[in-house]
Amino acid sequence: MTDVQLNHRYLAACAIAREAGRLIRLRFEQRGEALTHKFKGPQDYLTETDAEVERLIAARIAESFPDDDFFGEEGGGSFGRDVWIVDPIDGTADFARGVPHFCVSIAFVRDGRTEIGVLYDPMLDELFAARRGAGATLNGVPIKVSTIADIGQSVVELGWSSRIPFEGFATVQGRLQALGAGVKRRGSGALGIAYVAMGRQDAYCELHINSWDAAAAVLLVEEAGGWANDFLTPECLRSGNRVIVCTPALREQIERAMDI
Ligand code: LIP
């Protein structure tokens, strides 16, 4: 694939993310107080908007790149050599309950490696974007991870989902807090990882997260000078993996705390 073809996909991903974000925000502001909550599983929300946004993204990508494969969190799809991996709303639980902390996540993966990662938070109008080897930006401005090297001064977001037993989360949280880290959990793994890329926090880790939640954001951190574990393994594409992203100086302590 030529650089021109990759750049076309990068620019398209940014435009599609913004269009999808406008739809998400419209639906968020239209939601009624009688919003019906549907669940895919314990604490795993599903909204009509998830599916509607994913259909929009899939249609736009098919229009421009008909030979690429597509995989979305809600509708599934296929994993070919060139595949778009999409989470239409990362932070669905907050979206469903009226909390304005969520984003759309779009990754382009070639031969099992993320080449393009784009996230858009429509509530803050923040577009995070990265091409492998070309750096990471927030609304077009280059971003870098923080310089925090002392875990006792760090802010670490520890993600959780019902996909794994709670005990592991509690063990890691206890270890991080014993090290003096300020431990948070918000509800969007993608935004939590993106905040590491731009220095709003110093690490994001989760014992299990899906490829469509995190692949785009992990590239942001790699391109912003941070460290990331080998997240997107062949198995991760379909089954997820643990994720650790942090400032390079915190790697050893965070990896040790996550070793369960
Ligand atoms: C979310 C993940 C996050 C996890 C949440 C949820 P969703 O994805 O991005 O890492 O901690 O529980 O799974 O379901 O909002 O797309």
3-state percent helix, strand, coil for the chain, nearest multiple of 5: 40, 30, 30
Which residues, judged by CB distance below 6 Å to any ligand atom, belong to the binding site of ligand 1? 73, 87, 90-93, 159-161, 187-190, 206, 209, 213
What DSSP designation does 193 have?
Answer: H
For atom 3 of ligand 1, the residue with the nearest CA is 189
H/E stretch holding 118 reads strand 113-121
Q: Which of 186, 180, 14 is nearest to 100 (CA)?
A: 186
Residue of 54, 74, 82, 90 marked active site: 90
First to last CA, the chain: 40
Atom number in ligand 1 closest to CA 212: 16
Residue of 50, 73, 115, 222 marked active site: 73
Q: What tokens appear for 86 in the block?
A: 């999409």
Atom number in ligand 1 closest to CA 214: 9
Distance CA(209)–CA(223), nearest Å, equals 20
Respond yes or no: is residue 87 known to be catalytic.
yes
| Domains within the chain, CATH numbers bracketed | 3-142 (3.30.540.10), 151-257 (3.40.190.80)
Respond yes or no: is residue 90 known to be catalytic.
yes
H/E stretch holding 120 reads strand 113-121
Atom number in ligand 1 closest to CA 209: 10
Residue 65: phi, psi to the nearest 5? -135, 65
Distance CA(227)–CA(253), nearest Å, equals 13
For atom 7 of ligand 1, the residue with the nearest CA is 90
Strand order in the sheet with 182-184: 182-184, 155-158, 203-209, 241-246, 227-228
Atom number in ligand 1 closest to CA 160: 11
Enter the pTM of the model: 0.95
Distance CA(199)–CA(197), nearest Å, equals 6
Q: How far is the CA of 135 from the centre of ligand 1 (A)?
A: 25
Q: Strand pairing of 227-228 and 241-246?
A: antiparallel
Per-residue pLDDT of the chain (260 residues; tens, 9 = 90+): 999 999 999 999 999 999 999 999 999 998 865 455 666 777 776 678 999 999 999 999 999 999 999 999 989 999 999 999 999 999 999 999 999 999 999 999 999 999 999 999 999 999 999 999 999 999 999 999 999 999 999 999 999 988 888 999 999 999 999 999 999 999 999 999 999 999 999 999 999 999 999 999 999 999 999 999 999 999 999 999 999 999 999 999 999 999 99
101, amino acid identity? H
Distance CA(97)–CA(33), nearest Å, equals 9
Q: How far is the CA of 188 from the centre of ligand 1 (A)?
A: 5
SS3 85: strand
Q: What tokens appear for 65 in the block?
A: 């790149």
